[in-house]
Amino acid sequence: MTADLSKEGALAGIKVLDLSRVLAGPWCTQILADLGADVVKIERPGMGDDTRHWGPPFLKDADGHDTDQASYFTSCNRNKRSVTVDIASAAGQALLRKMALQADILVENFKTGGLAQYGLDYAALREINPRLIYCSVTGFGHDGPHAQRAGYDLMVQATSGMMSITGRPDDEPGGGPLRVGVALTDLFTGVYASSAILAALHVRSSTGRGQHIDMALLDVGMAILANQASAFLNTGVAPRRQGNTHPSLAPYQDFPTQDGAVLLAIGNNGQFARFCEAAGQPEWAQDARFATNPLRVRHRDLLIPMMEAVTRTRSTAEWIALLEDKAVPCGPINDIGQAFQDDQVKARGLAVSLPRDAGDGIAAIAGVASPLRLADTPPVLRRAPPALGQHTDEVLAEMGLSPQQIALLHANGVV
C-alpha cells in the first residue's frame, strides 16, 4: 500500500498541533493523522524527538547501510508534517502561539506546568483560542503527591501492578515480574487520549468551546488491569503471576507438541467438549471434575498434565489442522517475522510501505497498517514518517510567512 494524497479521512479539515514526544502522545496524534487530521509535529532543531535516536535498529539507505535514524520513531509518526521550532526562544513561542490560534487540537506531554514558562499552557492558549482542545499527557496527572514526577511506561507497569501479574510464578524457572514486551501503558494512553479528543470535538460542535484533557499513564495503567483489578477490588486478594495460564479460564494456555507448542484458548464448555472429542478423549468432558469451567479451573493441576500428554503426540500444524474447523480456538505461537507471513495478516494488508522523498537516501519506510476500518471514511496513508524539519518551510508558508521571513527565522536559529 502506498501513500494517497488525493483521499480525505474522517477528520479532514481538523488541524492538530503536536508538541508531544516519545510514544504516548505521538501514538495519539498518529491515530488522528491516520483518520485524516493535518498533524504538525513540533521538534527541537537539530535533535528532534528523542525516539529518532533510540536505536538500533536504524533505518537503512538505498544501499542497505544503516542511517542515523532509528526505526522506533517511524512506529508512531506517519502522516505527520515535521516542523522544527526552538520553543525556548521568544520568536519560537510567538510562532507556536500563532499555530495554536489556528489549531483545533493541541497535544503535549511536558511535565505538569512545564509549558507555562513559554506561555503555551492551556490557560494562556484558551484566552486566544477558546475552541482549542488541549490534551496533556503526563505520567501521574496534574494533581496528587506525585504529579511532578516524570513518567515512563516501565515505571508505570511496575507501579500499577502490571508487572506483578506478568511472567511466571516465583517458584518456577524464569520466575519473577516482567514488563510487557511493548510499552503497553504508553500505547493505551495514546488510544484513550484519541478517544477523549474525539469526544471533546463532538462536544465542541454544540458548545463552540474546547476543553482541557488530563491523560495520565498511571490512570491508564490502573484501568487496563481490567478483570485483574476488579478481582482484587471485589475480593481483597491480589492476583499473582501465573505465566500463560488464565486466572478464570481453563484450559487457556500453551501446550507442548511434537515440534514446539500450540496455544489453546478454550472459553466455554462446548469448545472443551469439541476439543476432547477431536483429541480422542471424549470422557474428559463428562468427568465430574472437568464438566464446567469453574471445575476445570479448580482441578487444572489434574487436567493440564493429562492434556499435555495428548498434545505431545502431534505436531503444532497437525493440531491446528485438526481443531480449527471444529470451532476450537487454537493457533501457533509466532515470532513477529512469522506473524507477518501469516496468510490472514497478508490478506488484511497489515504490512504497508510509504515512500519518502526527504533527500536523506531513505526511499520508503515500512510500518503496520491502521487497525481502524471505517467503511466510508477509512484511514488514509498519505505521508511516510517525516525527516526532521522536512515540512518547516511548507507549513510556515501556509501560515502566511514570506520567504524572507522564513529565511530570517532560519538565520536566527528559531526554526
> Mapping DSSP to helix (H, G, I), strand (E, B) and coil, where does residue 253 land?
strand
Residue position matching grid coordinates 519506510: 365
> Minimal CA–CA distance to 24: which of 192, 155, 180?
192
Terminal-residue alpha carbon distance, the chain? 33
Of 18, 186, 287, 325, the catalytic one is: 186
197 burial class (0-12, 13-18, 19+ CB within 10 angstroms)? buried
DSSP 103: -
> Minimal CA–CA distance to 364: which of 48, 29, 71?
71
Give the whole-angstrom CA distance, residue 128 versus residue 17: 15
> Minimal CA–CA distance to 131: which of 213, 27, 57, 205?
205
Four-CA torsion 189, 192, 194, 200, nearest 10 degrees: -130
What crossing angle do the helices spanning 184-207 and 24-34 adopt, rounded to 10°? Answer: 50
Cis, bond preceding 56 (omega within 30 deg of 0): yes
Contacts with 411 (C-beta within 8 Å, 6 or more apart), sequence order: none
Yes or no: say if 58 and 70 are a contact pair by the CB < 8 Å rule. Answer: yes
Query: Phi and psi of 335, rounded to 5°?
Result: -85, 175
Could you tell me how many helices (H) and strands (E) the chain has, helices first? Answer: 17, 13
Q: Which helix (H) or strand (E) holds 81?
A: strand 80-84
Task: Answer yes or no: 121 catalytic.
Answer: no
> Minimal CA–CA distance to 32: which of 47, 45, 49, 20?
20
Give the catalytic positions in this structure.
186
